[in-house]
Structure formats: structure tokens, C-alpha cells
Amino acid sequence: MASEPRPPHNHILRSLSAEARGRIYPHLRLTPVSHGTVLCEPGHRMRHLYFPTDTMVSLLHVLENGASAEVAVVGNEGVVGVSLFMGGESTTTRAIVHNGGHAFRLSAARLKREFDRHGELHGLLLRYTQSLITQMAQTAVCNRHHCVDQQLCRWLLLSLDRLGATELVMTHELIANMLGVRREGVTDAAGRLQKRGIIRYRRGRITVLSRPGLEASCCECYRAVKKEADRLRGMDRARAQHARTGG
């Protein structure tokens, strides 16, 4: 890697001990990824594992008729390409970049080598994968039981958390593709949120004016996913602490 990682770093990389960093960092490459880039195509073997720093990536499933639905969102708390260490080598999901930015990437071979040491990275990646599983499961339930208005709030909150900004560059059309609903449905829902002063938007830019308002209008799904993700990250920290104090 050319330079020391910048502030908007990746949480998994950050959780590594100095020793593990020493092994891994030299093989990381900070790669620019732009809006719309497809990091993973269904059935294709990935060549790198990506550690996003300041980008947000959607994992979505596409149906035969072209309809789609997002199953999870990844930001700098995770990685794109879990099939590389889960052993399947490819997935059925497409990974597409929303807000452009940067990601560290690690070649499949280097990843395998480090993962097979069964050390820190192994634990961090598997625990993150469990967090991803939780997100997918909750998405399934949310798709079943909650209305578009609530789901839009959930999606905005997940995005806010991953982008660390209050403005999203995102059209209604794109959000509709992510949620798997009609564009008009998103326009309606967004219009209601705007009328209530919770968000403001114009031509592809959405500004969140009141995060508490969003949270109040959201279904429990956002909270459930966040709570479990926090719990799992807490376990990461506890383990790191334990290792440092020489347990």
C-alpha cells in the first residue's frame, strides 16, 4: 500500500493488532471505486476482498425478469466478498457501489493465507459475516411486514451510518431499485418525510434534517440490526483488549 491509511478507515482493519497489521498492510492496496462500480457479479469468482473506507456498497439479488432487491448494505464496518473466505468462491449476489470513494483490497490468495492462520482476521471476518447474516434476515422480515415509508427510513439510516454524512447523492429511482419497489412509491414516501420536515431533497440529493425524526418513523428493523452489529463489534474489541493485556 502506498501511504498510511487515512482517517475514514475500515473498522475490521483497525481492529487488528500491530503484529497482524504488519503482515497484512503491506498487501493492501487503496483502490478508488466509483459510483456504479460492480465489485461482484453473481456466479463470478472474485479476485479481491474489499475493505471499504468511505464508500457504501449494496448487496442485491437480481431476479430473472430484472427485478431486484437489496439484501444488505456494507460500509467501512465490513468487507465485500465473504464468499472468498466462506469457501464458495462466488456468490449469487451483486455488489454495487453507491457513493464513490476508496476501498482497500486484498488479493484472494493473500486473504486465504492470512485467514488460514486462524488468527485475528479469521475471527473478525467471521463475526462480521454473522452481522451480515443478521442484516439479511432482518431485511427478509422487513420486506414481509413493513410498509415502504418505514423501509425508506430504515434504508436512509443504514446509509447515514455508513457514509457518515447527512447528504446522500441518490435518486428515488435508485432507492426504489434497492428496496425493490416502484419509483413512485419512493417519491410518495419521500414526499411525506419532506412534508414533515425530516428530510429535504432535490434532483438526486437527499439531506437528512432530523435523524431523530427518521428513527421515530422507522420500523424496529434498523434498531435490531444495529444492536446486533454493535454487540458483535463489542466482542471484537473485548477480544483485542484481552489479547493486549496478555490473557
**In this complex, which beta carbon is closest to DNA, that of residue 109 or of residue 147?**
147
Measured from the Cβ of residue 141, the count of other Cβ atoms closer than 10 Å reads: 13
What are 73's strand-pairing partners?
58
Site for a second copy contains 126 (CB under 8 A): yes
The SS3 of residue 59 is strand
The one-letter amino acid code at 35 reads: H
Closest distance to DNA from the beta carbon of 118 (Å) = 44
Site for a second copy contains 145 (CB under 8 A): yes
Site for a second copy contains 68 (CB under 8 A): yes
**In this complex, which beta carbon is closest to a second copy, that of residue 14 or of residue 223?**
223
Site for a second copy contains 96 (CB under 8 A): no
Query: Which string of x and - marks every residue 149-188 that binds DNA (by CB under 7 A)?
Result: x---------------------xxx------xxxxxx-xx
- State the Cα–Cα distance between residues 13 and 34, nearest whole angstrom: 21
Closest distance to a second copy from the beta carbon of 193 (Å) = 21
Residue 5 phi/psi, 5-degree rounding, is -55, 145
Residue 72 phi/psi, 5-degree rounding, is -165, 160
Q: Grid coordinates standing for 32?
A: 478508488
Among 108, 136, 160, 240, binds a second copy (CB under 8 A): 136
Measured from the Cβ of residue 149, the count of other Cβ atoms closer than 10 Å reads: 18
Closest distance to DNA from the beta carbon of 218 (Å) = 14
Instruction: Tell me the CA distances in angstroms from 225 to 19, 41, 131, 163, 164, one per residue in order.
Output: 31, 25, 8, 17, 17
Q: What is the DSSP letter of 170?
A: -
Residue numbers at the binding site for a second copy (CB under 8 A): 59, 61, 63-64, 67-69, 71-72, 82-83, 85-89, 91-93, 116, 118, 123, 126-127, 129-134, 136-141, 143-145, 180-181, 220, 224, 228, 231-232, 235
Residue numbers at the binding site for DNA (CB under 7 A): 147-149, 171-173, 180-185, 187-188, 190-191, 194, 201-204
